[in-house]
Every structure is written in structure tokens, then in C-alpha cells.
Amino acid sequence: MTAVQTGDLSAAIEAARQTLERPAMPRVDLGLALRTSTALRQLVPTRLAVRAAEAKGRARWENPDERSLALLTMDAIVGGTARAGELDELARRRLIEEEAQRALFWQPWRTVSLDAVSSENLHGALSCERRLLISACHLGPYFLNMSALTSLGHDTIAVVAPWFFQAPTPDYWGRRIARWRRGIRKRGERLVCSNGSFPVVQALLEQGERVLIYFDMPGSSRTQFLGKPVMLSSGSSQLAFMTEALILPLCARRVGSRVWTDVLEPLDPRGFASPEELHAALAAVHERVILERAETLEDPNRPGAWENGASANAWARPAAAERSATEAGHSAVGAR
């Protein structure tokens, strides 16, 4: 399957429903191949892999450069919030979480666990015969989130950035993409390219598909988020309002070597006066969860996100990055 670059809506919808191809794992040097071998990782108990990763993360805190970068990242996330005073501790924990989540990524992917409240919320949303838009952030081991639905036999389609469809390169990044695509293919998840995806996702929702959109992606909606003005995509609220789809917020969290998905109460667009009001409510939901485990949020300044435009005062993409996204046809729908 390739990224859809056509104005033919029917073809784009059909492409989004196709089973993913299993990519070949790129050839790399022996050392990297061993570190990123899922076959070898199956021989290592996940609890031991995570324990070793946590130790590696604690050691990274002793490196001045690693510590400085972690502090800058956490300042951009919690600056202006009630957790701003916890910067040092959050930054230290961030390095531990980065290593633990990396270990979980390369270990065999397990189905997430649900507590009683999450299970009730999930089954209620799936059984109410309403259209369903799933909303998540790049928080915790989020690559496992959708197993909460696919393990129950429910098909899902995720909106992803164009780079996710590119041929994996012979390096760590390429091996990571290949492993990711293999993982979601195995659990039956399908994908739609974010470029020009708004009408495609709208049609998919109207036809009963369950679609995942990442909320914490750059866009044109100035939103009070994490204690500061953040330029966010409002595609989720616009689509939910147009299709009357429930918005089901999910968030992943790690407890030792086990991953849980918290399924929050759905937001019903019929209870809001406008997409803007719904967007603000959804932002408040995600903000609350992020602040509970802020150290597990991906760096907002990473490539493809705010491109070094996120600080403790505001998140806004630099003009050059914004122009590049516009020229590529990036839609208002958030992407992985």
C-alpha cells in the first residue's frame, strides 16, 4: 500500500481499507541488526529488558548533554502548568521512560490491559451503534493502544503522516518503521495518509469505520493547552461534529513491563454548541491525562511536530516548517 495522492475519493477510501503489506526489515550492520532483532528479543523476558532499560535511563541523567536536553523538553511540556516546579524530577524520569518505551517497542507486542472503568467505557462505545472517532496523544507506549480494540475483533484505521509509507531505509530509523508496520499489520490495523485526508476520514466515519486521529499535532487552531497557547489541529472535533461520531479518548501508560490503556468517557458532539467548543473540551481531557504522566509525552520539538517551535511559553511551528507542511498538502487531521 502506498500513500494516497489522488483526488479520487472512492480510490482513497478503498486504499485505506487495504491490508498492509509486510515490509522487509532493512539490512544494517551486525551490531544494529542484533539490537533491533525482534526474533532475538523474543528470547529475552520483557520484564528483564525493561529493567535493563530503566537502568540505562538512570545512567543517562549523569550525562550533562542528555540532562540538558531532557530539561528543555520537559520545560516545553509543563512550563506554565502546576507541574513546572517539578522540572528536574520530571526530566530525570523522562530519560528512564524513553529507554523503557524503546525496550517495549522492540519486545513482542502484547495486548494492553484495561481496568474496570476503561473496559466499561470501551464496550459501551463499541456497542452503542454510534460512529466512533478515537483520539489519542503521543503519550506512553501509544503504539500498543489500538490492541484494546483489535483484540476484540474490531477493525481500526489510523491517520498517519506520509513518511510512514516510505520505503524503510537501511538504518535504525528504517528498522523502526519496518517493525512498526509489521506490528500493526499483525493486529489488523489499517492506515490512511494524512495528506488531504479530511474528506477521506469523513467518508470512512460515515460508512461506519473506526478511525484513530492523534490530537497532539500542529495545526491552525490556537488552543489553550498545557498552560500555554498551542497551535493544534482541530480536525478531530470538526469531523466528529460533521458526522456525529463519538470521540473516544485513549491514553497508554506503563506500569513496570506491563502496558495499560485508559479509555476515558466519550465526548458526544451533540452536547456541544460548535466544533470549537468540542475542541476545547477535548483539549482539556488530553491535558489532564498528559499532566498526570508528562514525562512520557514525546518531544513536541521532534521532526514532523513543532520543529523546535515549542517552548514553555507557546507551541507554534516555525514559518519554514509551516510552509513546508502547507506545500505538502498537510490537512487539518492529526497524524502519527
Q: Measured on CA atoms in the order 318, 287, 65, 175, is the torsion positive or negative?
A: negative
User: What confidence tens digit (pLDDT) does each residue in 161-185 have?
Assistant: 999 999 999 999 999 999 999 999 9
pTM: predicted TM-score of the whole model, two decimal places: 0.92
- Residue 44 near residue 108, CB atoms below 8 Å: no
45-103 pLDDT per residue, tens: 999 999 999 999 999 999 999 999 999 999 999 999 999 999 999 999 999 999 999 99
Q: What is the pLDDT of residues 212-271, one digit of tens each?
A: 999 999 999 999 999 999 999 999 999 999 999 999 999 999 999 999 999 999 999 999
Q: Which domains does the chain have, with CATH numbers?
A: 9-38+111-327 (3.40.1130)
Q: What is the rounded end-to-end Cα distance, in angstroms, of the chain? A: 17
Please state the rounded mean pLDDT for residues 5-15.
80
The beta strands (E) that lie in 116-199 are given as 132-136, 157-160, 190-193
Cell of 108: 513482542
